[in-house]
Amino acid sequence: MCGIAGIFDTRGLRPIDRPLLERMNQAQFHRGPDEGGTFIAPGIGLAHRRLSIIDVSTGQQPLFNQDRSICIVFNGEIYNFQQVRTDLQALGYAFQTHSDTEVIVQAWAAWGEDCVRKLRGMFAFAIWDTRQEKLFIARDRLGIKPLYFATLDDGQFLFGSELKVLATHPGLARRLDPLAVEDYFALGYIPEPRTIYRNVFKLLPGYTLTLSRQSAVPEPHQYWDISLHPGATKPADVEQELIARLKDAVGSHLMAEVPLGAFLSGGVDSSAVVAMMAQLQSTPVNTCAIGFNEKAFNETEFAQQVADRYHTNHFMKVVGTDDFDLIDQLALLYDEPFADSSAIPTHRVCQLARERVTVALSGDGGDELFAGYRRYRWHMNEERLRGAFPAGLRKPLFGFLGSIYPKADWAPKFLRAKTTFQALARDSVEGYFHNFSILTDGLRGQLYSESFKRELAGYRAIEVFKRYAANAPAEDPLSLVQYLDMKTYLVGDILTKVDRASMAHALEVRVPILDHEFMEWGSSLPHDVKLKGQTGKYIFKKALEPHLPNDVLYRPKMGFAVPLAQWFRGPLKQRVKDSLLGAAMADSGLFDMGFVGQLVEEHQSGRRDHSAALWSLLMFESFQRQCLQQAA
Which residues are annotated as catalytic?
2
- Is the N-terminal amide bond of 412 cis, ω within 30° of 0? no
Q: How many CB atoms lie under 10 A from the CB of residue 280?
A: 14
Dihedral sign (CA 169, 175, 179, 183): positive
3-state DSSP call for residue 17? coil
Q: Which strands form 359-361's sheet, in the order they lie side by side?
A: 313-319, 286-292, 260-263, 359-361, 508-510
| Residues sharing a CB contact under 8 Å with residue 577, sequence separation 6 or more, in sequence order | 600
Rounded to an integer, what distance in angstroms lies between the CA atom of residue 502 and that of residue 353? 9
Please answer whether residues 137 and 203 qualify as being in contact, where contact means their C-beta atoms are separated by less than 8 angstroms. Answer: yes
Please answer whether residues 56 and 33 qualify as being in contact, where contact means their C-beta atoms are separated by less than 8 angstroms. Answer: no
Listing DSSP states for 19-56 in one string gives HHHHHHHHTTGGG-BSEEEEEEETTEEEEEEE---SST
Whole-number Cα distances in Å, 261 to 488, 492, 588: 28, 25, 45
- DSSP character at residue 96: S
Residue type, 180: A
Helix (H) or strand (E) holding 74: strand 70-78
Rounded to an integer, what distance in angstroms lies between the CA atom of residue 147 and that of residue 207? 11
Residue type, 611: S
| Residues in a beta bridge with 160 | 5, 148
Rounded to an integer, what distance in angstroms lies between the CA atom of residue 421 and that of residue 418? 5
Q: How many CB atoms lie under 10 A from the CB of residue 318?
A: 11
Q: How many CB atoms lie under 10 A from the CB of residue 13?
A: 12
- DSSP character at residue 595: H
| Residues sharing a CB contact under 8 Å with residue 44, sequence separation 6 or more, in sequence order | 6, 7, 8, 9, 16, 128, 135
Q: How many CB atoms lie under 10 A from the CB of residue 392?
A: 8
| Residues sharing a CB contact under 8 Å with residue 417, sequence separation 6 or more, in sequence order | 401, 405, 408
Please answer whether residues 388 and 381 qualify as being in contact, where contact means their C-beta atoms are separated by less than 8 angstroms. Answer: no
3-state DSSP call for residue 509? strand
Please answer whether residues 60 and 32 qualify as being in contact, where contact means their C-beta atoms are separated by less than 8 angstroms. Answer: no
Rounded to an integer, what distance in angstroms lies between the CA atom of residue 606 and that of residue 569? 8
- DSSP character at residue 624: I
Alpha helices in 257-342 (DSSP H): 268-280, 300-310, 327-334
| Residues in a beta bridge with 103 | none
